[in-house]
Amino acid sequence: MHENKVSLKHPRATSLRIRAKLVHGFEIGVTSAFGLFAHGRGEAFDYLIGENTTDNAKQAIKAAAASLLLGQNSVLSVNGNVAALVPEELVKLAKTSKAKLEINLYHRSKEREEAIWKVLQDVGAKEVYGLDSKYHETIPEIHSERRIVDHRGLFIADVVFVPLEDGDRTEGLVRLGKRVITVDLNPLSRTAQMAGITIVDNVVRALPLLNATVRKLRKESVESLQNIVDKFDNQQNLSQAIQHINRRLNGLAKAQGAQSAGGNPE
Distance of alpha carbon 39 from alpha carbon 19, whole angstroms:
8
User: Among 6, 19, 25, 38, which residue interacts with ligand ATP (rule: CB under 6 A)?
Assistant: 38
Backbone angles phi and psi of 145, in degrees to 5: -60, -20
User: Could you tell me how many residues of this chain bind ligand ATP (CB under 6 A)?
Assistant: 18
Torsion of Cα atoms, 169 then 173 then 175 then 178, to 10°: -160
Rounded Cα–Cα distance for residues 250 and 242 (Å): 12
Residue 68 and residue 96 in contact, taking contact as beta carbons nearer than 8 Å: no
CB 80 within 8 A of CB 25: yes
Complex with ligand ATP: residue 151 or 175, whichever CB lies closer: 175
Within residues 152-171, the interface with ligand ATP by CB under 6 A covers 164, 166-167
The yes or no reply on residue 185 touching ligand ATP (CB under 6 A) is: yes
What is the SS3 assignment for 158? coil
User: At its nearest, how many Å lie between ligand ATP and the CB of residue 94?
Assistant: 19
Name the one range near ligand ATP by CB under 6 A: 198-206, 223-231, 243-251, 252-260: 198-206
Minimum Å distance from CB 125 to ligand ATP?
20
- To the nearest whole angstrom, how small is the minimum distance from the Cβ of residue 64 to ligand ATP? 13
Site string for Mg ion, 161-200 (x = CB under 5 A): -----xx---------------------------------
What gap in Å lies between CA 163 and CA 165, rounded to an integer? 5
